[in-house]
Amino acid sequence: MPVLGSAPNKRTFFSLLQEAGENAESATGKLDRLMRTWPDEHELRAEVKELEEEGDRITHDILHQLHATKFTPLDREDIHALAVALDDVVDYTEEAADVLGLYKIEAPMEQAVELTGVLRDAGRELATALHKLETTSELGSHVLELDRLEDEGDRISRQALVSLFAGGIDPMVVIRWKDVFERLEQGIDACERVAHVLEGIVVKHS
């Protein structure tokens, strides 16, 4: 089992990346609950916003450590790419939660609930993967699952767009829901970017 080499601040980097993964899992989980119960638990929007702000703090800490540390346990570009993609996951999650309220959406579409569930599962998967980052041998299955979830998200998004444009729905409602779906899909895409970085790490350390 390959283990990544020791370096100054090794634990700091891995701990911060794990923390970012856990924060993404929490944010996507909150959004899933918000979407399923909307608008009954609208107050969850504020909790998602707090997690987005926490994600910004974690990203800042990772990038600060990256600039302040001479030796890193992973390639610098990989650490940077992971930090940015994880931050994007939470940013798009928060934006999706925000537009539900800004657009005064009355009730969630079925495909929105399904797509948010995919984002939730992807957030959970990447959090689990990041806890295995020091020993790379178990990352492969998580990379494959994140790729599968991204494909599933694409399928649901296509179905949602067909439903929006084929149902004679008010054009303003179409525009609002299209914005929601775009943010959900962008969040899932950011999870897949994490997977691609992890896949590269596996190759480098195999």
Instruction: Dump pLDDT digits (tens) for 106-130.
Output: 999 999 999 999 999 999 999 999 9
- CATH, residue 145: 1.20.58.220
Torsion of the alpha carbons at 182, 188, 191 and 197, rounded to the nearest 10: -70
> What's the domain count of the chain?
1
pLDDT at 10: 60
139 pLDDT band, cuts 50/70/90, is: very high
Range of the domain at 22: 10-204
Q: What percent of the chain has pLDDT over 70?
A: 94
Q: Is the per-residue pLDDT at 9 higher than 80?
A: no
Quick check: is 23 in a domain? yes
Quick check: is 182 in a domain? yes
Quick check: is 141 in a domain? yes
Quick check: is 66 in a domain? yes
What pTM did the predictor assign?
Answer: 0.93
Quick check: is 4 in a domain? no
Write the pLDDT tens digit of every residue in 27-56: 999 999 999 999 999 999 999 999 999 999
- Can the peptide bond before residue 171 be classed as cis, meaning omega within 30 degrees of 0? no
Quick check: is 143 in a domain? yes
